[in-house]
Each structure stands twice: as C-alpha cells, then as structure tokens.
Structure 1
C-alpha cells in the first residue's frame, strides 16, 4: 500500500469509529489512533468553541470539519457555548485503488475537502448519520455496508457545500449586475435580459435582486439615475434638460416628475437650494450635508484639526479657536455647527445665517432633518431616510441569514489597550443593535464603553463576532491573543462617524463583514490551516 499526500477522491473507505454525542462540558480527542486516520466532526445542534493544535475558532449548527492526521498532532477539544451540543464524530481511512498491469495499486489519500465548512441541509445529513451510526453499532457489521452508507453521507455533505457555493456565486453575480447598472444607469435595462444573463428566471431574478439591494431592478436604476442627476445639478452652469438627457431621460417633464418622486423636491428647487457656500463647524455635519446632495466644493470645513476624520482629512480646514476673521474672509452663505459653539453664536450670526444643532441630545436622523429644513429641502431628508430604512431592513435580513443569533461586539484598539463599545454607546448601538438588530454579548448592555488593558479581557464577553476598529499604522496583532469567535478588522471611519452618510456606509461595511465574508480557512501544502482567531481584514 503506497502513501501520498495528495487531496484526491478516494474510492475505498474503511470506517474506524462512529459516535453521536451530546456534550455539556469540554470534550477532548487526544490524538488519532493511527497516523493515517482522518476525522469528521459535524455539529448537529448547539454552538461550541474548538481548539485544534495551536489553532481554533467557533463551530455553529451546520458547521463541520474534516481533520487530517497532521492537524491532530496535539488533539482536538470542543467546549460548548450553549448548554450542550449534539455532534457526530466519524473516524476513517481513505484510499484510492486502481488496477495496474502487475496488480492493484492502493494509495492512502486525504479527503478532497479539508478544514471548516458549513451546510444548511442539516436534516438530511442527520438522517444519513443516524443510518451510519445504527449500522456501526451492530455486533456484526460489514465494511461493504459501511462504505455504502458513508458514501451516501459524503454525497449529501458535498451537495450541501455545492449549494452554499452556488449561493455565494449568486451573490457575486448580483453584485456585478448592480455595479454595472450603477455605472451605466443612463442605459435601458430589461429584466428578461438580466435574468437570462444571471441564469435565473425573471421572477427569481426579481426576488433575488430586491433581496440583495432592497430595491426592485426598476427602482434601483431610477434611484441611481437620480443620484447622478443630483451630482450634476449642483455643478455650475448645467441646465436641467442637459441633466435629464445625461441620465437617460428624453422627456424633461417626465424626468422632473421622477426626480421629485425619488429625491423629494423638483430639480430646479434642489439646484437652487444647494448652490450656497456652507461653513461647517463640525466634521459629522459634513456627512449629513453630503447625504442631502450638497457638493463638497460648496463646503467650507472649519473645525479644530484634531477633529478631522477620514474621508475629510484631505480637506483644508481652518482652525476654530476661534478664527472668526478667516471665516469672515471666506464669505459663506450659511454656517452650520453644533451647540458646542453656542458662546460664539452672536459673532457667527454677524457673518452669515447660522444653524446650531443640539448634537448630543438629538439623533443623527434629527440632525439630518434640521439641516435639510434650514436649506429648504426637508422633503429630501424624508426621502433619504426612507431609502436608508429599506437598505437597513434588507441588510438586517442578509446578516440574520448568515449569522443567525450570534453576538457581535465592537472594539477600538490602540497601543496598550482597547475600548469596548456597549449597547448604550449610540454611535455603535444605533447601527448594530438598532437598525441591524444584531445581538450584543451578555454583559455589554449596561454600559456605553469600557476601557480594558489587554485584548485578552475580551474573552469575558464570549462574543461570536468582534468588529475591531484600528488604524493601519497601529494594526494590533490579534493572533497573540487567544480570542474566541471571528475577528473582523475595520477602520474607525465610518463606524464612529455619527452622521447620515456614516451610518449608510457602516451598513455596507456590516454586510461585508457579517454577511459576505468567507470562512478564513484554506488548504496549503497538503494540510488544512485554521486561523485562530478567524481574522477577516476588509479595511
């Protein structure tokens, strides 16, 4: 019998052990009984953390691992997170046999997939496991029967993986179609053509597209046209008929009706209201003004340099401590700030009409409405919030389908420590625990934030997912900390930018981290690698 380290499709299987276990405390498998033995672990119910040699992570219902002998050198340990877990354990030998001229050649092989995977067809898998387990428990079982039953189980597993891959491929396809529609929004698109391209029926494409984008294909293309129209309207010396033609409308009157329906006000009123030069005294307000459609060229950022955050750090901001002379020289038409600068209100009013927003006592939605009312376009804020809520609901459903009831915790890291954001910290809780309705870990609901000295202290909260905010220049090394759960790296912006634009972009990032991120596992040099903690870097 030969040896090979290739991953191949075996055609000979010897089942060495089958167990169906209910585990309520730590369970250990010290080592494989044979250096060629491979292990399959499948979680039927519950959730647990696992440790495999020096790596580990989380296992949820429907997760399974295929473990090679090399990965079992220091054994496997499972620790239930729920009250108990129901798991299946199969130990086996796999080989590939072929007939040669001088006889049979048999090579030991690894199963063609290794590492951690997820399947949703858990009831079918459970049925095949029970059949295999019943056959194994018989006093006089035969390996031929075991092989047949194992192959049925394995085929069901592979079919489940294929189904997951198809869902991932479909998401990527929908993303590509949506991006193409956005880039060519002035063109005409037919649902039948897009459905044919996607390989779906028109009805299924319509349903899937709306689930992915929160809008029907027609609503999506019309909204993208109006977003482009808004950008063109606030540019200098561009007439409304030119804008209508540029975004795909031959009839300017029909364009005006659609613009008012989607944006909230007629195009001429939108253009007139947003031609003003606006001095901005707080960086978060920039995000509200940009969400309303104000051109960045019409904004005059005036705040302390230490307040600047991405993506506005490249904007040349005056220093407000308090440089009223320079502000007067800029000749703004309007001034917008927060109540933090109330002591200077009289001097500011002498320069231009001034609106001060009660920043800490009102929500970002209130800020958006107040600013829009000041500009005379309150309807634009109402329309923007309508589409934002649609996007939030769609994102909430996609995240729920991906992570279920798993918990999510937000943490900002720096040299020498970190800050945990609790459910009472509005910059985080509004988006994560409000709009997206993910679950906070137990113990974080009673505080706004908690400063810790080491990332190791995050273990106390047993979060399934950790959104770790840190800048590239810091790049905290999380691998030296034995963190449970999945760590998703993200920048400080947009998560800590309390504005309309910040929240909208945070939803997009949440989808990337919690609904679209793939398992951080791979095959390399003939062995599976489990990253501990699982780190997905999307910054």
Structure 2
C-alpha cells in the first residue's frame, strides 16, 4: 500500500441532485466522486459503469468525465493532487476506474464527518485539516482495495447479469429476500451467484444487501422519529430487535446511539 497520501484541493457535498450541471467535465486535478445515496452512470475514457453507495469513481486530470444521474444522488466531490512519489502502479490502477469499498461502517463514519465539516462553512486551516484527514482514510481504503484486487472492476468484462442482480437488491431491499430465490430468478445456483457477485463487487450478495439496508436505516434514524420496529419494516427486517443486532454489528453502535450521536 502506498505511504504517499493525496492533498485535498476542494470538497463539496451535494444533496439529492437530479442532474449534473455539466454532463461532461474535465478537471485540472484528480477528482473523486463518493456516492452516499442514489446511482449515476459514468464514462471516463473507455471505462464506463454505474456507481452507487459503497463505490468511489476516480478520474485523473485532463480526462473527460461523463456522468448522468439515474436516481436522486447525494455524493461527495473531492478534488485532490497526488505527490510525485505516488507509485506508478497505483496511479495506473486508479486511472479510469470505479472502486468498491466494502468497509461499510468505516465508510459511513468518514462520510458523516465530511458532511459535518462541510456544514461548518469554514475555510479555516483547521477545517481543511479535518477534511484532509478524512480523505486520507478514504485513500487508504481505496489503495488497499486496488492493490488487493488489481483485476477487479472495469479491467474485466462487465458482468451484466450481476449488475442486474445488484439493481434488483437496490429495488427490493425493503422486502424479505432469500439468496437462493434471487439466484433462481437470474438462472444461477446460489454458489454461482455468490462467486460471480464477489468477483464483480468484492463482497458477497448478503453483505451487499445488508449495506443497502443499514444505509437506509441510518437515513431513517436521522430523518424521522419512527420507532425501530417501523424502520425495520422499511428496511427488510422482521422487527427492531433483529435490525438492532445487524446494525450494531455493521456500525459498531446501537441504532439509538447512532441517532443521538449524528443528529445535528
């Protein structure tokens, strides 16, 4: 993993965008789009795909970045520079690609902290240092994932069926879902589904589904006064007790603690 960290130039948190101001843009620095909610399609050079929660899309300087919102999009846009000492191996792997980060809890904590820093509306050196810290941690996750799975992502032929499976999970996460039923729906055995899904997304289908549900639970905990049982029903779980077990395992805190700590 690289010991050289990027230096942040700017950070903006965009909330529920229905479209981009520019369909195609070119940046003078590196740029990273980190999705919190929604989905967008992109094309960078010959690489194209769809990004959602858990994905970051990295575009190098002076390369056209096409993007189109598919569903209402909340995301972090971070421009940054890389030091000259950054290994060429990592730069080449990052260029023109989407990276899926499976560390849901760590990712959510970084996003939450970046949102708070952004809401301070301050350009002080302390505020910039905070954002630099969170970018550095994101970068460590990205670097580890890229170096651990150098053949993942757009360097392999896109698995269209698995993309459809991921879309199905996103559209039906609030319902009871059995992996064997999903495998049958898409003409695979459970073993085939798990293998192909992990090859495409670096996590297994259940982890992916759980990440969607926990993210939705986080959103409802912060935006509503609903009880945990009601929220559980909106997130595909039988009751609040089961949601609480899953939530604590993923996020490291109980739903009530998360609600108390993150409302601002």
Q: Distance in 2 between matches of 1:25 and 1:149?
A: 25
Structure 1 alignment gaps of length 5 or more: 1-6, 97-106, 169-398, 408-431, 441-466, 468-494, 496-502, 521-539
Q: Deviation of residue 90 (structure 1)?
A: 0.7
SS of residue matched to 1:150: helix
SS of residue matched to 1:39: strand
1:517 aligns with 2:262: no
Q: Distance in 2 between matches of 1:86 and 1:134?
A: 15
Corresponding residue number in structure 2 for 1:268: none
1:118 aligns with 2:100: yes
Q: Distance in 2 between matches of 1:75 and 1:163?
A: 22
Structure 2 alignment gaps of length 5 or more: 150-161, 172-176, 203-264
Q: Deviation of residue 44 (structure 1)?
A: 0.2
Q: Deviation of residue 518 (structure 1)?
A: 3.4
Corresponding residue number in structure 2 for 1:133: 118
Q: RCO greater where, 1 or 2, for CA within 8 Å and sep 6 or more?
A: 2
Q: Deviation of residue 154 (structure 1)?
A: 2.6
Find the partner of 1:77 among 57, 67, 72. Answer: 67
Q: Distance in 2 between matches of 1:48 and 1:24?
A: 10
1:12 to 1:518, Cα distance in 2 relative to 1, 3 A: closer
Corresponding residue number in structure 2 for 1:10: 4
Q: Distance in 2 between matches of 1:438 and 1:58?
A: 21
Q: Deviation of residue 58 (structure 1)?
A: 1.2
SS of residue matched to 2:83: strand
Do 2:31 and 2:60's aligned partners in 1 also have CA atoms closer than 8 Å?
yes
**Bigger radius of gyration:** 1
- Give the alignment's Cα RMSD to 1 decimal: 4.3
1:33 to 1:58, Cα distance in 2 relative to 1, 3 A: closer
Find the partner of 1:90 among 78, 81, 91. Answer: 78
1:11 to 1:42, Cα distance in 2 relative to 1, 3 A: closer
Q: Distance in 1 between matches of 2:8 and 2:87?
A: 12
Do 2:41 and 2:49's aligned partners in 1 also have CA atoms closer than 8 Å?
yes
Q: Distance in 1 between matches of 2:145 and 2:46?
A: 31
Q: Deviation of residue 124 (structure 1)?
A: 0.5
Structure 1 range deviating more: 121-130 or 21-30: 21-30
1:52 to 1:79, Cα distance in 2 relative to 1, 3 A: farther
1:26 to 1:54, Cα distance in 2 relative to 1, 3 A: farther
Deviation string 1:261-282 (CA, Å, 9 cap, x unpaired) is: xxxxxxxxxxxxxxxxxxxxxx
Where is the helix percentage greater, Structure 1 or Structure 2? Answer: 2
Q: Deviation of residue 158 (structure 1)?
A: 2.8
Q: Deviation of residue 17 (structure 1)?
A: 4.4
1:10 to 1:164, Cα distance in 2 relative to 1, 3 A: closer
Q: Deviation of residue 40 (structure 1)?
A: 0.8
TM alignment of 1:51-200, pairs within 5 A:
51-69=43-61, 72=63, 74-80=64-70, 82=71, 84-96=72-84, 114=94, 115-119=97-101, 120-121=104-105, 122-134=107-119, 137-138=121-122, 140-142=123-125, 145-156=127-138, 158-159=140-141
Corresponding residue number in structure 2 for 1:259: none
Q: Distance in 2 between matches of 1:158 and 1:510?
A: 29
1:405 aligns with 2:169: yes
Q: Deviation of residue 25 (structure 1)?
A: 3.0
Structure-2-length-normalised TM-score: 0.50
Do 2:41 and 2:69's aligned partners in 1 also have CA atoms closer than 8 Å?
yes
Q: Distance in 2 between matches of 1:47 and 1:12?
A: 26
Do 2:39 and 2:52's aligned partners in 1 also have CA atoms closer than 8 Å?
yes
Do 2:44 and 2:59's aligned partners in 1 also have CA atoms closer than 8 Å?
no
Q: Deviation of residue 42 (structure 1)?
A: 0.6
Q: Distance in 2 between matches of 1:150 and 1:438?
A: 42
Do 1:43 and 1:61's aligned partners in 2 also have CA atoms closer than 8 Å?
yes
Q: Deviation of residue 45 (structure 1)?
A: 0.9
Deviation string 1:235-266 (CA, Å, 9 cap, x unpaired) is: xxxxxxxxxxxxxxxxxxxxxxxxxxxxxxxx
SS of residue matched to 1:405: helix
Q: Deviation of residue 69 (structure 1)?
A: 1.8
Structure-1-length-normalised TM-score: 0.27
Q: Deviation of residue 148 (structure 1)?
A: 4.4
Structure 1 range deviating more: 109-118 or 146-155: 109-118
